[in-house]
Structure 1
Amino acid sequence: MPPPLKGNPVADKDLARALLEEQFPDWAHLPLRLLTPGGSDHVIHRLGDDMALRLPRGDWAAGQAAKEHRWLPRIAPHLPLAVPTPLALGRPGQGYPYHWSVARWLDGHTPTPGGQHPSTPQKLADFLLALQALPPADEPLPGPSLPSYDPDTRAAIAATAHTFDAAAMTALWDAALRAPHDPAAPLWLHGDFHTGNLLADDHGRLTAVIDFGGLGIGDPAVDLMVAYTLLGPASRAAFREALAPDEATWLRGMGWALATGLNAYTAYAATHPHVAAQTSRQITQALAEFSELPRVR
């Protein structure tokens, strides 16, 4: 997850228009509409009726456009939900330092946490199983490591001890770090598989997965964070049954939910109430499930 959005390039409509005029003049006449709040990694402008222009907000997202441009066309045919179709990869210009992208617009809205369609657990599991079944990449694509989050997570636990149960968070985090994981058997992962990176239709049925900047190969437990950002206890149990991870992977998934939730909470909660609410739910859902495990009774 990125740091707070301070001191980063202003990717406004004027910059977007100037980049289009410079690099893709055939699209420069089309209307641009800024999407708010957009994403934590990208400023997003709708371009015409059927395209999206995405501009990284800072250094942490600088390589995402090129990664998606290379890999999404290769993996999309094997996945059961729609993913963005890259149309063009923009280069730095007009004083803007990052590669950026134009992709096909995907209709839909963010699904509602805890109130999803009955098909959602199975669709989430089917997507992850298809992703994990992809053949190995022909280049290094290292995914994130749970132990690498240890210093920041422990600092966040201390910083939020007035809001959440620090002892419970520490117990969950320690247990997740101890959960066995074989790094010699990596799998494909989305890397940021949470509610905000899913799209649903007007009936609440999942239709698409977006934002593949974290795409990589590594510990698939990172993608289990969706069980705590989107699902409630009953649908989470259905998702777990459909996906069938081993107990250690599921426990590491709780750790990922805690770590990513705390990271976003400490970075954004003070200024973004919706982030505070979303991440509070994510953290408390993970803690509630962990508290029910036999090993901690």
Structure 2
Amino acid sequence: MTQAPTPTADTVRRLVRTLLKDAGNDTSGPDVRPVSEGGEHCTWWVGTRHVLRLAPDREAAARQRRELRLRDLVRPHLPVAVPTSVAHGEWSPGLTYTLDTLVPGGTAEEHDVSAIGEADLAGFLTGLRAVPARQAETLGVPRAAPRSLEALRRMAVPAARTLGTAEEFDPARLAQLTPPGAAQLAAQAGTAVLVHHHLKGEHLVVSADGRVRGVLDWTGVVLGDPAEDIAGLALAVGSGAAVRAATLAGYGARPCLRGLWLARCDSVIRLAERIEGRDDSSLELLQTQLQRAWEAILLERVTELREDG
């Protein structure tokens, strides 16, 4: 198998100059710099108005091609911005790129989401549900089976003990989710919708006043369990904001609580893996996500789960 080339500043600079030349720009082009210092340098800032994303392998290239079509499909349904590609093609044989417009704003890791921002998130969840599943499948969006909350709970139990030993978490808190409770919060048949599936804080563009202005990274979209996006929001903006947004979007107690507990179990497992040296993610970020997911919310006092309308 041929080794895929590693993107370098020279690679990016030559590509950007070609794109600018094609656009009739006679300058030498804007500065380019990687979005992050580590990793494979697959995402680059291009000046102050664009982001260049390079697919590192053929699987990523296939996802990127699908993403370009998918963003056009979802854009009319959403109240927040979706990046627009101003140029796309191949930066190496079989490996794609897209030069996207920069959606202005910070991230949910930098700015708190306001009450109006929660309404933006509600509109986002409502818009995803409105996207026709058949059209998404035509573009190649896969279906994903819902995760077993009981299986996740069983994985979280020893992870919680690890966190207890490290004085990061009280394992007794996980006892709130019993096996019967996990079974009651199992995903229901016929509820699959378009799911972003990658709602991290870094993928939510948030303005200084707390409005959610855009959502980035549409490569992991599936047709599946809407509770996964509620869980993603719980980790990104906190359980309270996530559940309020989902409730505004028309989701009932069951998917909201299911999303809450998916996030809680995930946060315990991920932080335990980090402490045990099996995950190299930011320790501070994982600790913050644990705190967000375990925020107490009023909905937890509901004793009878209502079926969604």
Mapped contact 1:41–1:56 kept (Cα < 8 A): no
Alignment correspondent of 1:142:
142
Q: Does 1:251 align with 2:247?
A: no
Q: 1:151 to 1:19 in 2, by over 3 A?
A: farther
More displaced stretch, 199-208 vs 133-142: 133-142
Which residue of 165, 169, 177 corresponds with 1:172? 177
More displaced stretch, 245-254 vs 267-276: 267-276
Q: Secondary structure of the residue that 2:134 maps to in structure 1?
A: coil
Which residue of 287, 298, 301 corresponds with 1:277? 287
| Counterpart residue identity of residue 275, structure 1 | L
Deviation, 1:85, is: 0.7
| Counterpart residue identity of residue 229, structure 1 | L
Q: Secondary structure of the residue that 2:52 maps to in structure 1?
A: strand
Deviation, 1:258, is: 2.9
| Counterpart residue identity of residue 213, structure 1 | T
More displaced stretch, 247-256 vs 100-109: 247-256
For structure 1, the residue ranges without an aligned partner over 5 or more in a row are 1-7
Cα deviation per residue 1:277-296 (whole Å; 9 max; x = unaligned)?
332224433xx449944559
Q: Does 1:83 align with 2:86?
A: no
Q: Does 1:126 align with 2:131?
A: no
Mapped contact 1:44–1:55 kept (Cα < 8 A): yes
Q: Does 1:32 align with 2:32?
A: yes
Mapped contact 2:86–2:99 kept (Cα < 8 A): yes
| Counterpart residue identity of residue 158, structure 1 | P
Q: CA RMSD in A?
A: 3.9
Count of residues in Structure 1 that have an aligned counterpart in Structure 2: 284
Cα deviation per residue 1:216-245 (whole Å; 9 max; x = unaligned)?
222111110244224456545532431231
Tell me how far apart the structure 2 counterparts of residues 36 and 173 of structure 1 sit (CA, whole Å).
41
Deviation, 1:37, is: 6.3
Tell me how far apart the structure 1 counterparts of residues 286 and 63 of structure 2 sit (CA, whole Å).
25
Tell me how far apart the structure 2 counterparts of residues 234 and 29 of structure 1 sit (CA, whole Å).
45
Tell me how far apart the structure 2 counterparts of residues 42 and 251 of structure 1 sit (CA, whole Å).
37
Alignment correspondent of 1:204:
210
Cα deviation per residue 1:60-89 (whole Å; 9 max; x = unaligned)?
855431221111112212211111112333
Q: 1:252 to 1:9 in 2, by over 3 A?
A: farther
Tell me how far apart the structure 2 counterparts of residues 23 and 281 of structure 1 sit (CA, whole Å).
44
For structure 2, the residue ranges without an aligned partner over 5 or more in a row are 164-168, 305-309
| TM-score, scaled relative to structure 1 | 0.75
Q: 1:271 to 1:189 in 2, by over 3 A?
A: closer
More displaced stretch, 214-223 vs 142-151: 142-151
Q: Secondary structure of the residue that 2:132 maps to in structure 1?
A: coil
Alignment correspondent of 2:45:
46
Deviation, 1:56, is: 4.6
* Percent identity of paired positions between Structure 1 and Structure 2: 23
Which residue of 90, 97, 100 corresponds with 1:100? 97
Alignment correspondent of 2:307:
none
Greater Rg by CA: 2
